[in-house]
Structure 1
């Protein structure tokens, strides 16, 4: 069994000074929604998780329909309020936890896209692969992590940073397999602008 680490598709721009603290007051999540075949907006199982958007804070989002023997996607849309002027926010990395079963000569490819609605053409993309090159079935709980090229929000000026969108899509390739992802976590960075 061979597993490769997440690799970046796009090079991140040279980072500017990243703040070691969060703005004061701490911005609060004001709206959270989701879409996609793996977590449709009508899903009663998806959990709305409101709270602060602190520096380095892990935000966890739970779902139970991201389950397939082919492919699904889940896109989370987040807005914040009470954000003070002169700051920007970005997603630094993401992790998805669940179960993966792969028959021999099969693999799970997974893709994460991060973008702000007002800058949808400026998308950070990361991908990774879990490959079963063994003769036995690969069947285990996994947490897959991806470092995403940081796509910074607009410089906040009297309103929130905009709508942050994070889309996750796992795909089974090869002979056969199945995935069932149950939650996502994000780490956030803030900086002065």
Structure 2
């Protein structure tokens, strides 16, 4: 699959990924990308954020690829239980937030983390850093296993955001292109 064959939904985490964040840069660079806007970027709620993702998926006209970061990864996992088979072609999940994030970030609702631990109904890759202050490597691996995601160890990368030196993140874009190629059998969009 090529990026032009899909609706790429960018799902930022807490605070919405600023102008230097790789998600914002990818959104500007990839023609078919658009951001899933949340009502409040500083107070994530499971149902609120998940429903915005589900609505964006259902408004799409091509196969959907979700590109989530941090708390956006949690939101994708919560949204998954409301999505029908075939509505999402794949998810590119980066730097999940965990119990560490809930303690460190003000406004992380009690219902948002812990994560849903069921297998995701679409192919996914989870990329995590060994030095992420918001998720331990062990928890990231456990999430990947629970979700049925391919796990990628990003080494010493911090939270994989602009603050950790991942503004444009060209390595991530190459890995994203590889993920798209791996989606050989693209599910057809479910007509409601």
Q: Is TM > 0.5 for Structure 1 vs Structure 2?
A: no
Where is the strand percentage greater, Structure 1 or Structure 2? 1
> TM-score by structure 1 length?
0.27
Ranked by relative contact order (alpha carbons within 8 Å, sequence separation 6 or more), the top structure is 1
TM-score (norm 2): 0.27
Give the number of the structure whose alpha-carbon radius of gyration is greater.
1
